[in-house]
Amino acid sequence: MKSKNEFLEMVYALRESGKRIASKTKKAFYSGFRIEGDKLHFYREGPQTEWTLNIEDLWKVYCTQEFINTSVVKKL
């Protein structure tokens, strides 16, 4: 498992990359990552929705699940 600093570096790298990330099913994509304070904002394409997640909550999920997917995030 990654350290908290490594995890945060991954989150910040998402913002810098400008890449779209495909969902597990390949029916949706995630893009437009940006960080404001302790919040990660991004778009889910297909259908188009904007998501906002607390980075600290994501870290807690990662610590217990060792992965993050839509099913896990929807429970936050």
What is the spatial distance between Cα 57 and Cα 59, in angstroms, rounded to a whole number? 5
pTM over the 0.85 mark: no
- The beta-strand segments (E) located in 1-76 are 21-22, 29-36, 39-45, 49-54
The DSSP bridge partners found for residue 12 are: none
Each domain of the chain, given as residue ranges in start order, spans: 4-74
Which burial class, exposed, middle or buried, applies to 40 when counting CB atoms under 10 A from its CB (0-12, 13-18, 19+)?
A: buried
pLDDT, tens digit only, all 76 positions of the chain: 788 889 888 888 888 888 888 888 888 888 998 889 999 899 988 888 999 988 898 888 888 876 666 565 555 4
